[in-house]
Amino acid sequence: MQTFSQRADQLAEVLKQMEMQADESQLFALGYIIPQLTLVAEYVEPEDDFDTCFTRWLHQVFTDDGMNNEDQQEILQIWQAAQIKAQ
């Protein structure tokens, strides 16, 4: 089983690969999610499940940033795709 930081590193690598292959329309979401992942990996107390922790973090920062639903959905779709690719 991966540690919190190992999973964060794996997902960061997947997201960076996705960014290199992304359409221009996906760059906002990727540009948003990659730094958020770094923040969680570095500053959040490790939990058993990185994916659950990061999903919870995303919903909180969406609220904090006042992000519209369309952007939220785009970011969550990128996040779900990264989780699948990182399995």
The answer on pLDDT for 2 being more than 90 is: no
- The C-alpha atoms of residue 22 and residue 39 are separated, in whole angstroms, by 22
Residue type, 22: A
The answer on pLDDT for 9 being more than 90 is: yes
Query: Which among 62, 56, 60 is positioned nearest to 75, based on CA atoms?
Result: 62
In this prediction the pTM is 0.92
Residue 48's SS3 state is coil
The answer on pLDDT for 11 being more than 90 is: yes
**Structure confidence by residue, pLDDT tens digits, 16-52:** 999 999 999 999 999 999 999 999 999 999 999 999 9
The answer on pLDDT for 72 being more than 90 is: yes
